[in-house]
Chain A
Amino acid sequence: MIGQGKLLEIQDLRKNYGNKGHVTRALNGVSFDVLKGEFLGIMGPSGSGKTTLLNCIATIMKPTSGRVLLKGDNISSFDSKRLAEYRGSRIGYLFQDFELLDNLTGKENILLPLSIHGVDFAKAREKLHELATFLEITDVLNKFPSQMSGGQKQRVAVARSLISEPDIVLADEPTGALDTRSARNLMNKLTEINRKNERTILMVTHDANAASFCSRILFIQDGVIFHELRRQQSESREEFYERILQLLAQLGGGSANVL
């Protein structure tokens, strides 16, 4: 299930906010690898630096120091032009609030990364059809986001993140704005994409339920990674979920809700 090579290497990532007088160390030396084909989760309490970490990896933000290697390229040192080439084509994104353009139809939203990178539509037609069928969004392709449900919106966003067959999909609390059923549906789809197509996914969440779909989970607090959980081959999702809850209880000295 898990491929061999390292797809993404995070080396001693640090990020400070603010200037001299008032510095917040959001990331305090984070290092880990993401293997090819992995479904990696990152959990941590609010303010622990999850979004900051993901934004640094996503090249939305420049880290103060440290390196982010994607297939060996240090993307954290790229200039904006080269970054733009990576965004949307080699890296796909999922956001908590979907970030669909509300004046574009579902289909237009999904095709947007291709438009931006000038990929011929003919090549994507099949892919679009396949994704839409799999994600059950064929009937909203010609609707505007305001006419879709939250779950549909997020699945359109998933299709958008996958259309250009990126090396990795980065997701920041993708279930955050969804109800339980839509969230589970989405996580099932993501798992299937991960398993079937060996698509690497890196997801930040503080929802233990969502995290239980991952194959490995890193725990972050105060800008450092301090624990790791791996799902055993034989372990069911429910069992993994229990294990996560237990760990959170130990860590937080309380319930999972604190996260």
Chain B
Amino acid sequence: MFFKLIIRNAKRSLKENLIYFATLVVAVASFYIILSLEKQDVIIFLKEFESDAINKLLALMPIVYGFALFLLFFLILFANRYQLNRRSKEFGMYLLLGMRKERLILQLLAEGMFISIWALISGLFIGAFLAELISLTVAKLVGQGIISHQFSLSLTAIVFTVIGFLLIQFIALLILGGKLFYQEIYQLLNDQMDKKQEMGDVKGNIFHIFIGTVLLVIAYWLALFRFNEVEGFILFLALILGCIGTIFFIKGFGKLLGIMASRSEKKSTKGLRTFTFRQFQENVAHKYLSVSVTSILMTLSIILIADGASSILSLDKVYNRETSVYDFTVYGEKEKVEQLLNSEEMAPYVADLNLLEIGHMKRKGEDADGMSISMVDWSKLREELILALPRKERELFESGDIQGYTISPDNPDALNLLGILEIDATIPYLIPESSYNRLLEAVDEEPLNLQANEMVLYLNPDLLPMEQVDNIPVLEQIFKNAAQSKENLLTIDGTAFFLRPSVPMRGLVADRSIEIHSAFIVPDQVFEQLVNRETYETYWNFRIPKKLQDEQGLMMPMKEASEKLSAAGFGFESYLHNFGRQLFYVVAGSYTILYMGILFLIIACTVLALQFLTQMKQTKNRFLTLSMLGAKREQMKKSLRMQVLLTFLLPISLAVVSGAVGIWGLIKAVFIRIDNNPLLFPMSIFFACIVLGIFSIYGMAVSRTAEGEIDKLRWKTNVGE
């Protein structure tokens, strides 16, 4: 009997309260998704190249899980409270009929656990499906065919999901059961909205709005203009001020709205307008704290989603091989490597084989302090660069106050160039013309054909912050002027060298084995003459043949070639490393952040939805009265839809403003980089749609549920027929 009642009640809860059940399912699914990250195709793939970083990321997951557990606990608590409130009358009746409280609570726990099992089954199913979908989409989207998809079900994820979910569900029910234990039957039977109604004075509310606005504006200002100062602290301060401001603003706004509604006499009898506003006011003004919290959650959610999405934007760079030429770079003894690469086994994988020679320039000697004396004199170039600086920096230079150099995208180009040359030009790297010519040939560019007294200033496109390293306007201008006036910008060991403008700059190796900012590309005999033999190194670069790529894609042959090189025992690096590392940043930067963002949004929406339905349930009688006064069903539904819209719109409107400011602040602080990415627009639209979609689904669900209540209402008044 007892068991039957539990099952029947649980079934009824399921049927009557889809939102409650959906909340539980969402909680379960979110746990599973974060816990099964390890089994995502992309993560499995990246583990091969970036295992350290991936392990660090995975080690972070328990924290994310704990945080999600913490957040969802409150959601579950809220959902259960709503569910119990809905049935408080029923409980009152049980008690009135002599059921013992202990038994009632036991029954509640049993019912809760029964529903939890259903929620777990559905949630795990949905979670596994979503995780699979995400895994597949990401693999397809970022994998470019290398990341193979495999169906996976993470057992540990399931176990921890079950444990975590049951734990929070149990604690929540226990807390609520305990509360129920101390409630009097009278309270249960008369579950009504707080009868506290007050007009509130206009001045007080305007004051609240004023305080709220001021605090928000300060927070916005901090976020926009003071972000980089004492970073962490300012961010924290802006956050706190923003939260408090939001609370004040919403508190004042909710009440003021009601007052405004009652003030405009002319419109006061336009349909259920006054009623609608009063309901809205009650929902907002009396629950301003939770409405504010949802608004804050939505703000965070918008910022997080924008941040996560911007990481995805940088995917573009991952694929962009504009500057990267070689698929492989092999180190080791020059002849042995050459032999291997020309062997029958390796040859099919090798095209555009290029020996890159590199070494430091010899020194002229040492001065008294043991400092190197350079062969290079670039004082003329330096002068020109200083002249090209904006006034502020130029004055700094001319007064000799400049202390050190930073190379950053915020600097003017000329300053960055000065920095690089000051550091590099004393003992510059040298690269023979022939090495670079072969590279240019591989990408169908003209060879250099340098004159004996001509050189190229090589600038590494991967490390320099400039947009286009082969065409820096300041430098081009200086080179051009010099060519016209036949002036020497630079001499090496007393010999004047002309600097060749507009040479395409490409990556020298497959990934990062050579991390240099700049080098001098010189004619081969000059190289032989000037290079310091002690620093001389060689690298063998090659590409996967075009034909093989067309047949099998880039990644398969690369994998095979990697295996062969490893087997031969040579050190090497490949474009896969480059790709993997960049992909890792994108995945790590976007996955957890988007997850959190969406979680926040769902929590905010659920809280709003449950709160609205609670109010609706507690004030059901009002709708009865309305219908007795002649209100049509459609009229009441229209009012309800309006109420739902307003209830959702208020927190999100504020959140959109705060969120926009937040994003703007992050862009200014260069946390988020948007540049002129062609994906920017579609990506923003896509995520805006996701946010709006989640929002509308909840709004619609609430509307439907509430309208259903209205339908039931009519049925009750016509009892018997």
Contact = CB atoms under 8 A, between A and B. Distances in A.
Interface in A70-94: 80-81, 84-89, 93
Contacts of B720: 15-18, 61-62, 64
A249 interface: no
Contact of A104 (B278, B635, B718): B278
Contact of B271 (A15, A118, A160): A118
A126 B629 CA distance: 21
Contacts of A115: 268-275
Contacts of B367: none
Nearest to A81: B632
Interface stretch (B191-199, B502-510, B573-581): B191-199
Given A104-B275, A111-B268, A121-B266, A80 B197 contact: no
B630 A86 contact: yes
B195 to A, nearest CB: 5
A100 B626 CA distance: 10
Contact of A112 (B197, B199, B629): B629
Contact of B274 (A62, A108, A143, A147): A108
Interface centre among B193, B619, B622 (most CB of A within 10 A): B622
B269 A121 contact: yes
Given A103-B197, A103-B278, A87 B272 contact: no
Contact of B631 (A116, A121, A122, A143): A116
B322 interface: no
B284 to A, nearest CB: 12
B275 A144 contact: no
A119 interface: yes
Interface residues of B, number: 42
B630 A117 contact: yes
B282 to A, nearest CB: 5
Contacts of A61: 717-720
B204 to A, nearest CB: 16
A242 interface: no
Interface string A180-211: 00000000000000000000000000000000
Given A16-B720, A61-B720, A101 B622 contact: yes
A11 B282 CA distance: 45
Contacts of B271: 115-116, 118
Contacts of B268: 108, 111, 115, 121
A104 B274 contact: yes
Given A17-B720, A115-B270, A121-B269, A103 B632 contact: no
A146 B198 CA distance: 9
Interface string A88-132: 110001000001111111011001111111111110110000000
A41 interface: no
A100 B629 CA distance: 11
A152 B265 CA distance: 23
Contacts of B282: 103
A108 B262 CA distance: 8
A1 interface: no
A79 to B, nearest CB: 11
Contacts of A118: 269-271
B269 A111 contact: yes
Contacts of A111: 268-269, 274
B87 interface: no
A114 B269 contact: yes
Nearest to A122: B266
B621 interface: yes
Given A61-B717, A80-B714, A101 B275 contact: yes
A117 B635 CA distance: 10
A146 B77 CA distance: 31
A142 interface: yes
B625 interface: yes
A88 B628 contact: yes
B633 interface: yes
B197 A84 contact: no
A62 B622 contact: no
A101 B630 contact: no
B40 interface: no
B369 interface: no
Nearest to A146: B195
Given A62-B721, A142-B199, A146-B197, A119 B269 contact: yes
Interface string B190-219: 000101111100000000000000000000
A145 interface: yes
A99 B270 CA distance: 21
Contacts of B718: 60-62
Contacts of A114: 269
A117 to B, nearest CB: 6
Contacts of A113: 629-630
A245 to B, nearest CB: 33
Contact of B278 (A62, A99, A108, A120): A108
Interface centre among A64, A102, A146 (most CB of B within 10 A): A102
B275 A112 contact: yes
B279 interface: yes
A182 B195 CA distance: 23
Given A104-B274, A111-B268, A121-B265, A80 B633 contact: yes
A99 B628 contact: yes
Contacts of A101: 275, 278, 622, 625-626
B274 A145 contact: no
Contacts of B621: 99
Interface in B435-482: none
A187 to B, nearest CB: 22
Contact of A85 (B266, B273, B279, B630): B630
A154 to B, nearest CB: 14
Nearest to A115: B269
B719 A103 contact: no
A113 B626 CA distance: 8
Interface string B671-711: 00000000000000000000000000000000000000000
Nearest to A18: B720
B198 to A, nearest CB: 7
A102 B197 contact: yes
Contacts of B625: 99-101
Nearest to B198: A144
B630 A124 contact: no
Nearest to A108: B274
Contacts of B265: 121, 125
Contacts of A160: 629
A84 B269 contact: no
B638 to A, nearest CB: 12
A112 B266 contact: no
A19 B621 CA distance: 27
B258 to A, nearest CB: 9
A111 B274 CA distance: 10
Nearest to A119: B269
Contact of B630 (A84, A145, A146, A147): A84
Contacts of B628: 58, 60, 87-88, 93, 99
Contacts of B633: 80
A198 to B, nearest CB: 23
A202 B621 CA distance: 24
Contacts of B193: 102-103
B450 to A, nearest CB: 86
Contacts of A88: 628-631
25 contacts: A17-B719, A60-B717, A62-B718, A62-B720, A84-B627, A84-B630, A88-B629, A99-B621, A99-B624, A101-B275, A101-B622, A102-B197, A103-B278, A103-B282, A103-B619, A108-B274, A115-B272, A115-B274, A116-B272, A116-B629, A118-B271, A120-B269, A122-B266, A124-B269, A125-B265
Given A89-B630, A108-B275, A146-B195, 15 more contacts: A18-B720, A60-B717, A80-B633, A80-B714, A88-B629, A88-B630, A101-B278, A104-B278, A108-B278, A112-B275, A119-B269, A121-B265, A121-B269, A124-B269, A160-B629
Shortest 7 CB-CB contacts between residues of A and residues of B: A88-B630, A144-B197, A87-B630, A88-B629, A121-B269, A115-B269, A84-B632
